[in-house]
Amino acid sequence: MSKRVVIVGGGVGGTIIANLLAKKMRQEVKKGDVIIDVVSDNPIHFYQPGLLYMLIGLKNQEELTRDERKLLDPMVELHLHPAVKIDKDKNEVHLKNGVILNYDILVIATGSKPAPEVIPGLREGGNWFYELDACLKLRHELMNFKGGKIVLAIGLPHKCPVAPLEVTFMLDDWFRQKGVRDKVEYTYTYPIGRLHGLESVANFAAKTFPERNIKSETLFNMKEVDANKKTITSIEGVTLKYDLLITIPPHKGAQVIEDSGLGQNGFIPTDRYTLKMEGSNNVYVVGDTTNLPISKAGSTAHFESDIIVENIASEIRDGLTPFRYDGKVFCFIETGLTKGTYIMFDYNNPPNVVPPSSLIHWFKLTYNKVYWLTPMGIL
Partner 1 sequence: MADLKDIKADVVVDARGTYCPGPLMELIKEMRQQPVGAVIEVISGDAGSAKDVPEWLKKVNQEFLGVLEENNYWRIFTKKTKEM
| Residues forming the site for partner 1 (CB under 8 A) | 118, 156-157, 161, 191-193, 197-199, 219, 221, 223, 235-237, 250, 264-265, 272, 292-295, 327, 329, 345-348, 350-351
CA distance linking residue 165 with residue 35, whole number of Å: 42
Cβ of residue 40: shortest distance to partner 1, in angstroms?
A: 27
Contact 34, 315 (CB under 8 A): no
* Neighbour-count burial for 255-273, b at 16+ CB within 10 Å, e otherwise: ebbeebebbebbbbebbee
Cβ of residue 119: shortest distance to partner 1, in angstroms?
A: 10
Contact 51, 129 (CB under 8 A): yes
Name the residue nearer to partner 1 (CB basis): 21 or 353.
Answer: 353
Name the residue nearer to partner 1 (CB basis): 232 or 244.
Answer: 232
Cβ of residue 295: shortest distance to partner 1, in angstroms?
A: 5
* CA atoms within 13 Å, Cβ hemisphere of 206: 12
Name the residue nearer to partner 1 (CB basis): 142 or 331.
Answer: 331
Cβ of residue 328: shortest distance to partner 1, in angstroms?
A: 12
Name the residue nearer to partner 1 (CB basis): 100 or 235.
Answer: 235
Upstream peptide bond of 157 is cis (omega within 30 degrees of 0): yes
DSSP one-letter string for 53-93: HHTTTSS-GGGGEEEHHHHS-TTSEEE-S-EEEEETTTTEE
Cβ of residue 296: shortest distance to partner 1, in angstroms?
A: 9
Name the residue nearer to partner 1 (CB basis): 98 or 193.
Answer: 193
Name the residue nearer to partner 1 (CB basis): 270 or 305.
Answer: 270
Cβ of residue 293: shortest distance to partner 1, in angstroms?
A: 4
Name the residue nearer to partner 1 (CB basis): 10 or 155.
Answer: 155
How distant, in Å, are the alpha carbons of 92, 100, 284, 287 from that of 79? Answer: 14, 11, 19, 20
Q: Which residues contact 129 (CB under 8 A, 6 or more apart)?
A: 51, 52, 54, 55, 135, 138, 139, 167, 246
Cβ of residue 341: shortest distance to partner 1, in angstroms?
A: 15
Radius of gyration (C-alpha) of the chain in whole angstroms:
21
